[in-house]
Structures are given as C-alpha cells and as structure tokens.
Amino acid sequence: MNNMRKLLYIPVIHDQADMGSLETRLSMEGEKKYGQAAWQNHLAQVQTSWNRIENEIKQQLNSTPANKMRIYQDGLPKAGEIGLKIIKEIAKRGSKNYQILDELSRQGAQLEEAESKELLLQEYEYLSILSKATTLTEQLHAYIEFQEVAQELLNKRDAYIANRINITLKKDELGIAFFGGKHYIINRLDKDITINTIQEFKDKISADLINQHSL
C-alpha cells in the first residue's frame, strides 16, 4: 500500500434488519408515503446495493490483507469483544451491513470504536419519544423537539467519527467506513488520507431519504 493511509468510504442506507425496534414503524411510514409496491422495490434495490458493496470489499481483500484493515461503523460505539458480539447479533438478524462486518472481523480486520456512546444515547432518546407518540399533537411536538437538536447532534457525531478515523488509521492501512448518507465526515479527515467513495443506493427513495436526513 506504499506506506499510505487509505479509506474506503461507503455512504449507506440501512436495511430493515439494522433498524431494530424502529423497523415496523419505519416500514409502515415508508409504505404510507411511497406506496407498498414502491417501498418493497426500494427495499429490494437496497439489498442489491449491499450485494455490490460486498463484492467490492472482496476485491479489496485481493490487494490488502484483512489484518491491515480497520472497520468504522455508523451507530457502533464499542470495539473489542462487546463490539464483536453486537456485530454477530445484528448479523444473525439478517443485516447485510453487519454480515460484512462479521466476515471482515473473522478474517482479521480490526473493529474500531467509531461513535460516541453519549451522543448516540441523546439521539436515541429523542427518536424513542418520537416513535412512542400516539396523538398528532404528541407527534408534532416530538418532531419539532428533535429537529431543533438533530443537526447539532449530527455535527458533533461527525466531528467525533472523523477524529476517531484520524487518530486510529495508520500508515499502510485501509479503513472501511460505513455511514449513513446524512453524515458529512470526509471533509473533516486528515489531508494525507486517500479516500475512495463507493456510491450505491441510487434509487429515488434512497435519494429522498438521504435528502431528508432520515435514518
């Protein structure tokens, strides 16, 4: 790798298995907004995009050994045994993203703590309140409350993530970063990191979700 620091940056759309307790609600909202057929087609295209990402990473393994790779994952504030346990649990639920992480870690890639637990908990609390709102008034109040802090929380998360990549990615290593399309991390990275971005998730609904800064 010529003593360089490289990063494969993958803006992602989370599939249903990634969403945990929010899966049912988000699917209902997606079908309501876009129609059942369009939403199901979107989910199929998301899966196809993940398959292409998996193939690209397999190609990377032909030129870079896994023990020279570091993994950075959206929404994962733990590394080590706890982080690997989380990966395996979500992979078993059918998440293509986490199945890729599991395979990389099995081959020797190093999982890094990419996120701040405190910032994620703050965001989760707002989203939890929003998901539990039942009346229109409650939903509106929770939505406004979340929107007031959402961008600030995202900026703090992005700064934290970029700093983690900057300080952990070493020379002669390849980082593989999976982050939702709403994140703006690349412009915060050190200038000596060579970045290659994989652009997938190009269907209309995916683009719409990214523009809305949806999860």
For residue 51, give its domain range. 5-211
Its sign, for the CA torsion 150, 153, 158, 159, is positive
Q: What pTM was estimated for this model as a whole? A: 0.86
pLDDT at 200 over 50: yes
Residue 36 phi/psi, 5-degree rounding, is -60, -45
In the chain, the number of structural domains is: 1
* Nearest residue to 115 via CA among 61, 72, 56, 63: 72
Mean pLDDT across the chain: 88
Beta-strand (E) ranges in the chain?
Answer: 5-12, 69-73, 110-111, 173-180, 193-197
Q: Which whole number is the average pLDDT over 166-174? A: 97
Q: Which two tokens stand for residue 13?
A: 């759309």
Which pLDDT does position 190 carry in this prediction?
98
Band of residue 215 on the pLDDT scale cut at 50, 70, 90:
very low
By percentage, how much of the chain surpasses pLDDT 90?
A: 60
φ/ψ of 44, rounded to 5, equals -65, -40
Q: pLDDT by residue (tens digit) across 39-68?
A: 889 989 999 999 999 999 999 999 999 999
Tens-digit pLDDT profile for residues 14-46: 766 665 555 566 778 888 889 989 988 998 999
Q: pLDDT for 110-155, tens place per residue?
A: 999 999 999 999 888 767 767 776 787 777 766 676 677 788 889 9
- Token pair 């733990």: residue: 78
**In contact, 109 and 66? CB cutoff 8 Å:** yes
